């Protein structure tokens, strides 16, 4: 469990890892250059050590990493923490997106502050135990009891010591207005804008090494009004925060936009003033070639959610096309009602497998998906201080042991992490502090939390 002790100025050499990935799409030469490990001091990496070399920095402590693979901390760019309470719900398991949402909205309307607290804590632990050092959440369900849902999340991530981007989601179009959600989980535009301003002023930290950032995130074109989309874009610009929404997830969404708005989703995005590098989109699947070029020219970010897209049969994100056009591509687990897990290292494996159905095997490599989960995700969130192992960057990193039966006989440790199916981290560091020092011990300590969370989940759907 996290000690939350402040980072010290002692220099720690994480020495001679079994394999290492820098964060870039690097290849063997760059991996070898980092095989001596990294030196951490305070909250940052101060030195990268070449294979067979000694650090220049005077060392106070050493950690022998010769039986572990070293990665930059994984970065999740899209989630719905509250959905951990409705995993594998029988009524929703085999549904496409729109019927799936209509099935679940009435259940989610019963969420309470305690649900949000425990769901956030469970989701964050699940992400951290899989190697994530930065989490992102898109919370958009605000019933009468959840006016302070984002405040609750901010308290939890601060207590856990994980880096976070929390997005103030919103829904203003209920079923009576032609939207999908019930009246009980929508708010007025003024309520949404007022709370968005309050939260950005209270929590957003734009400084280097920030532990908590805020973004504004109307749920989707089919759940908010045009005026809210436009006003949110203006507010985000005034406050210097980023914008996030779901877009291009399904063909049904494209059809809805054409029928209700008279334009395709990308046209609508531009119409509302969202086309710019401040915006990242969840899913980004159903775009034509011209739209991909427009999104790339605007440097839009894409949160690639392969598992969710497969579970809901939504489609396959054109990742390489989007990246070639100029988009930033990062990884995301999406909500745990459509994944139904929050495991980042497994998400990378799912991406590799899914994307090879669209692109060649030599284009979708283990280096590529590792890059999406680290440096690519950092770019999606607009951050240059995380996602890579390099001097001056934040000391966010994960160490994985390849000691399971599934790794026996593996010849390339870094490739094995993805292809053989790693699922848990052994050690996790955020901003120079060990958040997880032994993954197995941490899992054992979470039994009481799991029991409380599971009990609340059963009560919610009763």
Q: What tens digit of pLDDT does each residue of 180-201 get?
A: 788 888 999 999 999 999 999 9
Q: Which pLDDT score, from 0 to 100, does residue 295 have?
A: 98
Spatial CA neighbour of 32 closest among 426, 413, 394: 413
* Fold of the 11-73+388-445 domain: Urease, subunit C; domain 1 (2.30.40)
Give yes or no for residue 347 having a pLDDT over 90. Answer: yes
* pLDDT tens-place string over residues 154-166: 999 999 999 999 9
* pLDDT tens-place string over residues 285-330: 999 999 999 999 999 999 999 999 999 999 999 999 999 999 999 9
Give yes or no for residue 408 having a pLDDT over 90. Answer: yes
Q: How far, in Å, are 142, 156, 165, 433 from residue 4 at the CA level? A: 31, 13, 19, 7
- Where do the domains of the chain lie? 11-73+388-445, 74-380
Confidence grade of residue 433 (pLDDT, cut at 50, 70, 90) = very high
Q: Which pLDDT score, from 0 to 100, does residue 26 have?
A: 59
Residues in the chain: 462
* Fold of the 74-380 domain: TIM Barrel (3.20.20)
Confidence grade of residue 135 (pLDDT, cut at 50, 70, 90) = very high
DSSP label at residue 2:
-
Tell me how far the alpha carbon of residue 377 is from its chain's centroid. Answer: 8
Q: What's the whole-number mean pLDDT along residues 50-73?
A: 96
What mean pLDDT value characterizes the chain? 94
The DSSP element (H or E) to which 160 belongs, if any, is: helix 149-160
Q: How far, in Å, are 158, 278, 331, 380 from residue 304 at the CA level? A: 26, 17, 5, 10
Q: What's the whole-number mean pLDDT along residues 88-104?
A: 89
Q: Which residues contact 31 (CB under 8 A, 6 or more apart)?
A: 19, 20, 21, 22, 414
Q: Which pLDDT score, from 0 to 100, does residue 183 have?
A: 86
Q: Which pLDDT score, from 0 to 100, does residue 177 have?
A: 81
């Amino acid at each position: 469990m996290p000690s939350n002790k402040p980072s010290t100025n002692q220099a720690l050499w994480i020495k001679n890892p079994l394999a290492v990935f820098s964060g870039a799409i690097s290849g063997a030469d760059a991996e070898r250059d980092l095989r001596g490990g990294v030196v951490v001091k305070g909250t940052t990496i101060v030195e990268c050590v070449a294979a067979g070399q000694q650090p220049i920095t005077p060392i106070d402590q050493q950690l022998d990493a010769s039986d572990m693979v070293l990665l930059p901390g994984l970065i999740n760019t899209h989630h719905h923490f509250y959905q951990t309470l409705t995993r594998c719900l029988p009524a929703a398991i085999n549904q496409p997106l729109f019927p799936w949402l209509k099935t679940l909205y009435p259940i989610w309307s019963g969420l309470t502050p305690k649900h949000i607290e425990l769901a956030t804590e469970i989701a964050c632990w699940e992400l951290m135990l899989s190697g994530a050092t930065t989490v992102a959440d898109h919370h958009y369900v605000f019933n009468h009891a959840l006016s302070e849902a984002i405040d609750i999340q901010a308290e939890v991530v601060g207590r856990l010591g994980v880096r976070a981007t929390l997005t103030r989601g919103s829904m203003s179009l209920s079923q009576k207005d032609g939207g999908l959600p019930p009246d009980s989980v929508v708010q007025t535009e003024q309520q949404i804008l007022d709370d968005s301003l309050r939260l950005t002023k209270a929590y957003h930290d734009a400084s280097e090494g920030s532990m908590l950032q805020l973004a504004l995130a109307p749920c989707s074109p089919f759940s908010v009004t045009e005026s809210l989309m436009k006003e949110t874009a203006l507010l985000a610009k005034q406050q210097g925060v980023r914008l996030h929404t779901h877009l291009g997830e399904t063909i049904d969404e494209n059809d809805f936009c054409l029928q209700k708005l008279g334009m395709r989703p990308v046209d609508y995005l531009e119409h509302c003033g969202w086309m710019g590098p401040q915006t990242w989109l969840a899913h980004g699947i159903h775009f034509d070639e011209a739209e991909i070029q427009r999104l790339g020219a605007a440097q839009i970010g894409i949160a690639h959610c392969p598992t969710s897209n497969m579970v809901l049969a939504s489609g396959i994100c054109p990742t390489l096309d989007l990246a070639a056009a100029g988009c930033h591509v990062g990884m995301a687990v999406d909500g745990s009602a459509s994944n139904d897990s929050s495991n980042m290292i497994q998400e990378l494996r799912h991406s590799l497998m899914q994307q090879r159905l669209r692109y060649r095997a030599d284009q979708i490599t283990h280096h590529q998906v590792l890059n999406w989960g680290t440096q690519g995700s950092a770019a999606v969130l607009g951050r240059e201080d995380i996602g890579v192992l390099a001097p001056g960057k934040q000391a966010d990193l994960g160490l994985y042991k390849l000691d399971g039966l599934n790794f026996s006989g593996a010849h390339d440790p870094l490739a094995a992490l993805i292809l053989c199916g790693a699922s848990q981290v052994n050690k996790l560091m955020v901003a120079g502090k060990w958040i997880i020092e032994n993954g197995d011990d941490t899992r054992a300590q979470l039994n009481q939390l799991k029991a409380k969370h599971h009990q609340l989940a059963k009560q919610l759907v009763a």
